[in-house]
Amino acid sequence: MTEEIIIAGFGGQGVLSMGKILAYSGIMEDKEVSWMPSYGPEMRGGTANVAVIISDERINSPVLHNFDTAIILNQQSMDKFEESVNPGGVLLYDPNGIIHHPTRKDINIYTIEGANEASKLKSSKTFNMIVLGAFLKIKPIVKMENVLKGLKKSLPERHHHLIPMNEEAIKVGFEKIKEVQTV
Amino acid sequence: MEEVKLMKGNEAVAEAAIRAGVDAYFGYPITPQSEVIEYLMAEEPHKRTGMVVLQAESELAAINMVYGAAACGKKAMTSSSSPGFSLKQEGISYIAGAELPCVIVDVVRGGPGLGTIQPSQADYFQVVKGGGHGDYNLIVLAPATVQEMADFIELAFELAFKYRNPAVILSDGVIGQMMEKVVFSPQKERLTDEEVDKLYNSWATTGKKNGRERNIITSLELVPERQEAHNHHLQAKYKKITENEIRFETFNCEDADYLLVAYGSSARICQKTVQLAREKGIKVGLLRPITLWPYPSEAINKLADQVKGILAVEMSAGQMVEDVRLAVNGKVKVEHYGRFGGMVHSPNEVLDALETKIIGG
| CA separation, residue B305 to residues B133, B151, B258, B333, B340 (Å) | 36, 33, 11, 11, 30
Q: Is there a common fold for B5-182 and B249-359?
A: yes
Nearest to A77 by CA among A118, A105, A48, A114: A48
Cβ contact A60:B262 at 8 Å: no
Check CB contact of B116 with chain A, cutoff 8 Å.
Answer: yes
Across all residues in chain A, what is the average pLDDT? 93
| ipTM of the prediction | 0.92
Q: Does A43 touch chain B (CB under 8 A)?
A: no
CA B227, chain centre distance (Å):
28
- Rounded to an integer, the average pLDDT of A59-78 is 95
Q: Does B278 touch chain A (CB under 8 A)?
A: no
Tell me, what's the pLDDT at B107? Answer: 98
Q: Where are the domains of chain A?
A: 2-181
Confidence band of A154 (pLDDT split at 50, 70, 90): confident
Q: Is B235 on the interface with A (CB under 8 A)?
A: no
Q: Nearest CA of chain B to the CA of A146: how many Å?
A: 15
What is the per-residue pLDDT for A153?
84
In the predicted structure, residue A44 carries a pLDDT above the cut 80: no
Report mean pLDDT in 10-residue bins for chain B, 361 residues.
89 98 98 97 96 98 98 98 97 98 98 95 96 96 98 98 98 97 96 95 89 91 97 98 98 98 98 97 98 98 98 98 98 97 95 96 71
User: What's residue B101's pLDDT?
Assistant: 98
The DSSP call for residue A151 is H
Whether A43 shows a pLDDT value over 70: the answer reads no
Q: Best residue in A61, A64, A151 to probe B by mutation, most B CBs within 10 Å? A: A61
Exposure string of B322-346, with b = 16+ CB inside 10 Å and e = fewer, is: bbbbebbeeebbbbbbbbbbbebbb
Residues of chain A positioned with their CB less than 8 A from the CB of B174:
36, 62-63
Q: What is the model's pLDDT at position B327?
A: 98
Domain range list for chain B: 5-182, 249-359
Residue B321 to chain A, least CA–CA distance (Å)? 21
Q: What pLDDT, on the 0 to 100 scale, is given for residue A173? A: 96
Pick the CATH number of B249-359 from 3.40.50.1370, 3.40.50.720, 3.30.465.10, 3.40.50.920: 3.40.50.920
The yes/no answer on whether domain B5-182 falls in CATH 3.40.50.970 is yes
User: Closest chain B residue to A54 measured between Cα atoms?
Assistant: B180
CATH architecture of A2-181: 3-Layer(aba) Sandwich (3.40)
User: Are the beta carbons of B117 and A62 separated by less than 8 Å?
Assistant: no
Any A CB within 8 A of B271 CB: yes
**CB nearest A33 (choices: B31, B180, B275):** B180
How much is the pTM?
0.95
Return the residue in A4, A22, A54, A60 with the most chain B beta carbons within 10 A, the one to mutate for interface testing: A60
Q: Which of B4, B179, B266 to mutate to test the interface with A (most CBs of A within 10 A)?
A: B179
